Amino acid sequence: MWTHEESIETTASPERIWALFSDVPGWKAWNAGIESIDIHGPFAKGTRFTMKPPGDDAFESTLIEVTQNKGFTDETSIDGTRVVVYHRIESLPSGHTRITYATEVTGHAASEFGPMVTADFPDVLRSLKALAEDAR
């Protein structure tokens, strides 16, 4: 198994982060790695979404856990490799919020897929933070 974790702190509330997380069509505003995205139902456990990165083929993912104001988890399987990304929202004693993306990749191509999937996470988190704080 290949694992990786990235976090960032923000002054935005968990509710504000959740509003951005649960607006799947709006992900393009803070994730440059998305050319197009469509969700096939409500932002809830079991719902699938289709995402197309720039210059790549589209792929389908499934929401396997969704907890309001706490985070969500999605799962993608491609050619025998399973990618699970945990998107967590944590209230801190300081009044700030920590956003964490934790990734687990299993399968024959885990060590190849993992770095590709997570390479832009620092940029994505910085953009998410900026958008969340700008809208306050």
Please report which confidence band the pLDDT of residue 130 belongs to, taking 50, 70 and 90 as the band edges: very high
The rounded mean pLDDT for the chain is 96
Q: What is the pLDDT of residues 105-126, one digit of tens each?
A: 999 999 999 999 999 999 999 9
Q: What is the pLDDT of residues 35-79, one digit of tens each?
A: 999 999 999 999 999 999 999 999 999 999 999 999 999 999 998
Helical ranges in 3-136 per DSSP H: 14-22, 110-118, 121-134
Percent of the chain with pLDDT over 70: 99
Contact (CB, 8 A) for 116 and 5: no
Which listed CATH number (3.20.20.70, 3.30.2130.10, 3.30.530.20, 4.10.93.10) goes with 2-134? 3.30.530.20
How many CB atoms are closer than 10 A to CB 127?
Answer: 15
CA distance 93 to 107: 38
pLDDT of 136 over the 80 cut? no
Spatial CB neighbours of 55, under 8 Å, sequence gap ≥ 6: 35
Q: What is the pLDDT of residue 122?
A: 98
Please report which confidence band the pLDDT of residue 135 belongs to, taking 50, 70 and 90 as the band edges: low
Residue among 88, 32, 86, 96 at smallest CA distance from 61: 86
Contact (CB, 8 A) for 103 and 114: yes
What is this structure's pTM? Answer: 0.94
Instruction: Characterize 17-56 residue by residue with b for buried, 16 or more Cβ atoms within 10 angstroms of its Cβ, and e for exposed.
Output: bbebbbebeebeebbebbeebebeeebeeebebebebeee
Q: What is the pLDDT of residues 1-41, one digit of tens each?
A: 999 999 999 999 999 999 999 999 999 999 999 999 999 99
Q: What is the pLDDT of residue 123?
A: 97
Task: Specify the DSSP class assigned to residue 41.
Answer: S
